[in-house]
Amino acid sequence: MSLEQKMKRCTMCQQVYPSSLDNFHLNDGRLRARCKSCCNAIDRGDLVPIRHVHGNRSQQIQCLICRNYYPATTQFFRRMGRGDEKLRKWCKTCSIAVEHGELVIVDLFKCEDGNKRCTQCFQAKPATPQYFDRGKNGLRSDCKECRTKQHKENGEPTRARVREWNKLNSKTHVANANQWRKDNFEKYIVQKQRRRARKANLPDTLTVEEWHRALEYFGWRCAVCGRDLTKDIVPAADHWKPLSKGGPTAATNIVPLCHGSRSCNNYKHALMPDIWLKCMLGEEKSKEKLVEIEAYFEWVRQQDSV
């Protein structure tokens, strides 16, 4: 065994020591991640370990002013208050400089109305889904360009871990997926159609709210045959202009159709609406239905422009 393999780095002070009981405590038959000096300092209250949101311990904090990383200890960061174990996000050097007037804190994320500043590249961009992906509480803090770059760098290792977990826990994965689809069926419909559009390199701007609006507009009935979609009939978000022919997954191209055996969605498949309606309803009724659907799309454009 080489000399380098016999050394161990403390995750708190980042110092390298010989991997032995003289420098590290024993925990469940293995050496602790922190050296004895840091463990003793934590017991005395001189050092404070920081725990991140996801439960993974992080021994360094990035100062929000100078952007430098320092050990997460009271030697470099002040406490939030008396008796509070949390540390501030500004290092001591920057805090003292602010108190003496040598530094002026500027809100880095403040920008003009209608814009949003990315937390990764710090560029101000229009606060629209074109530049920022949607999150649980609105638009995400990092722009699409930064997220794409991050996915390219870390996407494959992450997907490999997920695939490995799904393989080892196949029953749990299938049960969780089925339960989520059952609890979030309408969200699942929208996500499924948007994913199809992304794979076809087409616009995918449809939201759950817009899908709800379409269902309410048609009274929770099929837009063509009028079957009730609140009972045993499964609703389908149909691309009025088929996806295979360049139809986008957008509110101005999605209508609710019935799905299942002998349903409108199954009969339509990838046919253009004028050809399919002519076969289903005849020439006169098909023209009336085309006008009715086009009126809905025009109403959607007016709602979006308000």
Please give the Cα distance from 278 to 255 (Å, whole number).
Answer: 18
- Asked if 270 contacts 244 with a C-beta cutoff of 8 angstroms, the reply is yes
Distance CA 63, CA 60 (A): 10
Distance CA 42, CA 55 (A): 19
What is the helix (H) or strand (E) element at residue 181, kind and residue range?
helix 170-183
Q: What is the pLDDT of residue 53?
A: 36
Angle 71-72-73 from CA coordinates, rounded to 5°: 95
Report how far residue 61's alpha carbon sits from residue 77's, in angstroms, rounded to the nearest whole number.
9
Element (H, E) at 174: helix 170-183
Q: What is the model's pLDDT at position 57?
A: 41
Q: Smallest Cα–Cα separation from 58: which of 72, 45, 69?
A: 72
The 10 Å CB-count burial string (b at 16+, else e) for 82-108 is: eeeeebbebbeebbebeeeeebeeeee
| Helix/strand/coil for 28 | coil
Q: Would you state the structure tokens that stand for residue 104, as one six-digit string?
A: 């002026």
Distance CA 223, CA 294 (A): 12
Give the count of beta carbons closer than 10 Å to the beta carbon of residue 166: 14
- Quick one: pLDDT at residue 55? 36
Identify the CA nearest to 243 among candidates 199, 274, 298, 293: 199
Task: Identify the DSSP state of 198.
Answer: H
Q: Give the helix ranges, DSSP H, for the chain.
A: 36-44, 92-99, 144-168, 170-183, 185-199, 208-217, 264-268, 273-281, 283-305
Report the pLDDT value the prediction gives residue 45, as an integer from 0 to 100. 63
What's the CA gap between 122 and 126, in Å, rounded? 13
Nearest to 115 by CA among 96, 102, 129, 128: 128
**Beta-strand relationship, 16-18 and 254-259:** unpaired
Confirm if 210 and 189 have CB atoms less than 8 A apart.
no
**How crowded is residue 39: how many other Cβ atoms within 10 Å of its Cβ?**
19
Q: pLDDT per position in the chain (306 positions), as tens?
A: 344 457 887 877 777 888 888 888 888 778 888 888 878 777 766 665 554 433 344 577 778 777 788 888 888 888 877 666 778 878 888 888 888 887 766 555 566 778 888 878 878 888 888 888 887 777 888 899 998 888 888 878 888 888 898 888 889 989 998 998 888 888 899 999 999 999 999 999 999 999 999 999 999 999 999 988 887 788 899 999 999 999 999 999 999 999 888 889 999 988 999 999 998 889 899 999 999 999 999 999 998 886
pLDDT at 84: 67
pLDDT score, position 236 = 92
Q: Please give the pLDDT value at position 304.
A: 82
- CA separation for the pair 275, 164 (Å, rounded): 46
Residue 49's identity, in one-letter code, is: P
